[in-house]
Each structure stands twice: as structure tokens, then as C-alpha cells.
Amino acid sequence: MSKKPPVYISAGILAQLSVALVTALVVPLLAGIALSKWLNLGPLAVVCAMSLGVLIGSLAVYRIVKSAYEQLGGGK
């Protein structure tokens, strides 16, 4: 028997990771730009929003990878 995971599980995990990374970078960037213009804060708002987005994105990627690891056998 093959030890490879089913293709649909691998594709689903890859899609989840892609969406999480893009969302974690694009949404905070747009929010930072909007806050910067609205509150007249300059680049400080963009830097703060991007930092928060990277933190939240890292947590999301960790959860996705942890879940995938458990789904695929968890090192057994």
C-alpha cells in the first residue's frame, strides 16, 4: 500500500494555506492604507496593520498545518 495522502486532501490544504497567506498580507495592507488616509497617520498605520496581519496569518498557518498533520496520521 502507498503511504501517500489522497490528492484531494493535499490540494485542500494547499488551497487553505494560499488563502490564509494572501488574506494575511492583502487585507491588513488595505486596512493600513485606509487608516493612514482616514486618520492622517502616515506609514505608521500601514506598519502596525501589517504587523498584526503577519501575526494573525502565522497563527492561521500554524493551525492549518497542525490540523493537516493530525489528519494525515500525526507521525504514527
pLDDT per 10-residue tile (average), the chain, 76 residues: 63 87 92 93 92 94 88 70
Does this model's pTM top 0.95? My answer is no
How much is the pLDDT for 2? 59
How much is the pLDDT for 43? 92
Q: What cell was used for 42?
A: 502616515
Question: Residue 28, Cα to own-chain centre: how many angstroms?
Answer: 12
How much is the pLDDT for 75? 62
How much is the pLDDT for 4? 66
Helix (H, G, I), strand (E, B) or coil at 57: helix
